[in-house]
């Protein structure tokens, strides 16, 4: 994805994200559950700053964690030099931040969110905190999901230490959910799902089929058809 690996075509990313956003997390989860992928839902405490927000795109992974050192104490890191956390982002990516259990400070904020959006990111998902919530909500084209908001600065409390590596996010059914760079993230007010990149095409096609059926079920139920008849006809409710 980065570091010399080809990035996804922006047009394909935008079209795939549009298809996902026409769905909802519940139907996508049902399909993954049926496919033997039940452990892909992040902790339900990771929620949108605004309930209307949706996020969909390939994961740009950020590994972070508690760190009490001053900047001057940190060893050189070529990945992070010259604000590398931003320069490696790409159009349509979703920044996914694993904060490794830090639960006090806001490791991301409004300026970092604006910088991410300027580099093409369309979403941020943080297993941890964010600052400047009101200002973040005002950024056009960026959906942000976080565990909590906090006014506390991350310096001397937590720090980013790697980019575009497999990360561990807290799960709901499982204690951890692995996110690899390029896995797809899809979230709405119900929760955030991690779709393994190798399963994306199948998950998306089957989810669209399931939604079509649910649309028909909804229409018939609303028109007064007995629920049992609708269920017997479509096998979904």
Position 160 pLDDT exceeds 70: yes
Q: Out of 159-173, 179-193, 195-209, which region has the weakest mean confidence (pLDDT)? A: 159-173
Q: Note the pLDDT tens digit of each residue in 173-191.
A: 999 999 999 999 999 999 9
Question: What does the alpha-carbon distance between residue 179 and residue 227 come to, in Å, rounded to a whole number?
Answer: 39
The H or E element spanning position 160 is strand 158-163
Q: Note the pLDDT tens digit of each residue in 81-133.
A: 556 688 889 999 999 999 877 787 778 889 989 999 999 999 999 999 899 99
Position 235 pLDDT exceeds 90: no
* Mean pLDDT within 21-35: 97
Q: Note the pLDDT tens digit of each residue in 48-61.
A: 999 999 999 999 99
Position 78 pLDDT exceeds 70: no
User: For residue 192, which of 147, 130, 237 has the smallest C-alpha distance?
Assistant: 147
**What secondary structure does DSSP assign to 181-210, as a single string?**
TT-EEEEETTEEEEE-GGGHHHHHHHHHHH
* Mean pLDDT within 56-80: 79
Indicate yes or no: pTM above 0.85. Answer: yes
């Amino acid at each position: 994805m980065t570091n010399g690996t080809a990035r996804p075509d922006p047009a394909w990313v935008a079209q795939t994200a549009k298809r996902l956003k026409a769905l909802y997390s519940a139907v996508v989860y049902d399909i993954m559950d049926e496919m033997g992928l039940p452990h892909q839902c992040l902790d339900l405490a990771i929620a949108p700053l605004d309930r209307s927000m949706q996020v969909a795109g390939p994961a740009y992974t950020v590994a972070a964690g508690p760190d009490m050192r001053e900047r001057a104490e940190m060893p050189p890191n070529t990945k992070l030099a010259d604000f590398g956390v931003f320069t490696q982002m790409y159009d349509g990516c979703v920044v996914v931040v694993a904060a490794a259990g830090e639960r006090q400070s806001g490791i991301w904020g409004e300026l970092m969110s604006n910088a991410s959006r300027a580099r093409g990111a369309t979403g941020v998902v943080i297993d941890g905190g964010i600052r400047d919530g009101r200002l973040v909500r005002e950024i056009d084209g960026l959906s942000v999901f976080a565990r909590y908001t906090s006014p506390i600065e991350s310096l001397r409390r937590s720090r980013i230490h790697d980019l575009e590596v497999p990360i561990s996010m807290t799960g709901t059914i499982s204690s951890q959910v692995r996110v690899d760079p390029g896995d797809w993230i899809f979230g709405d007010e119900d929760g955030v799902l991690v779709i393994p990149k190798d399963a994306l095409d199948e998950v998306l096609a089957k989810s669209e089929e399931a939604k079509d059926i649910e649309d028909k079920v909804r229409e018939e139920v609303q028109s007064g058809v007995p629920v049992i008849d609708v269920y017997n006809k479509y096998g979904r409710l």
